[in-house]
Structure 1
Amino acid sequence: MDYQQARSYLLDKPDANEDFPFGPDVAVMKIRGKMFATLALEQGQGRMNLKCEPQQALMLRDMFAAVLPGYHMNKLHWNTIKLDGSIPLGEVQRMIDHSYALVVQGLRKSDRLGLLAKYGDSLKLDA
């Protein structure tokens, strides 16, 4: 997965929007005002921060050299993924889905129910 593919997949998540609170070089993807990913382009290569359940975060770091502790993030709950092509596309998509689901599960109940009412089964919330 490259930068553009990642950006498209992130923004295809229900109600996801893109913000640039840290300047023009780092896109922050949010759902209902809560960050679920960052995406940057450094030296021609994409790099993304994703939220992750702590045990799974450690496991992914052991499995893939391109998964590192979250850069400028809480390293217990966030991973940095280098988009260098070494991680299979489906696995990167699963990591994005997992991050999104964790953040949606942490939203207020009224926000979660509103998303479920609007998107139904297309709202993947299996963290």
Structure 2
Amino acid sequence: MFVLTTTLRGVPIVNLKCAPPHAAALVRDLVEVTPGWHMDKRHWITLAPGEGLDEAMVEDLVANSWELVVQGLPRARRPLDPARRVGP
């Protein structure tokens, strides 16, 4: 699992896996990014709508989350071409 979506108090949110140093910096620098809601707060972040997040940043964070999860899979279960993000 690399992404979770839900609503929190009527606001759409997205949880993404993130490397701990990167997660800490994002949480520190952006009000729209908080530690992962109902997740391991060191390895997950929660994104909420706001001016500090643009589409390109969200796309990069989603791609990074995917890559972190794929890196943790056994080789036999990894996609053949991680850049294409498709299964074997």
TM-score by length of 2: 0.85
**Aligned: 1:110 with 2:72:** no
**What are structure 2's unaligned runs of at least 5 residues?**
none
Contact 2:67 2:82 in 1 (8 A): no
Identity, % of aligned positions? 34
* Alignment: residue pair count: 85
- Report what 1:92 is aligned to: 58
Contact 2:5 2:12 in 1 (8 A): yes
Name whichever structure is richer in strand by fraction: 1
Q: CA RMSD in A?
A: 1.7
One-letter amino acid of the counterpart of residue 90, structure 1: A
TM-score by length of 1: 0.60
- CA drift of 1:63 comes to 1.9
Q: 1:87-120, CA deviations, whole angstroms, 9 ceiling, x for partnerless residues?
A: 01100111111111100111111111xx11xx46
Name whichever structure is richer in helix by fraction: 1
SS at 2:73 equivalent: coil
Q: 1:33-81, CA deviations, whole angstroms, 9 ceiling, x for partnerless residues?
A: xx11110134543101100000000111122100001111110100011
Q: Which sits farther off after the overlay, 89-98 or 43-52?
A: 43-52
- More contact order relative to length (CA 8 Å, sep ≥ 6): 2
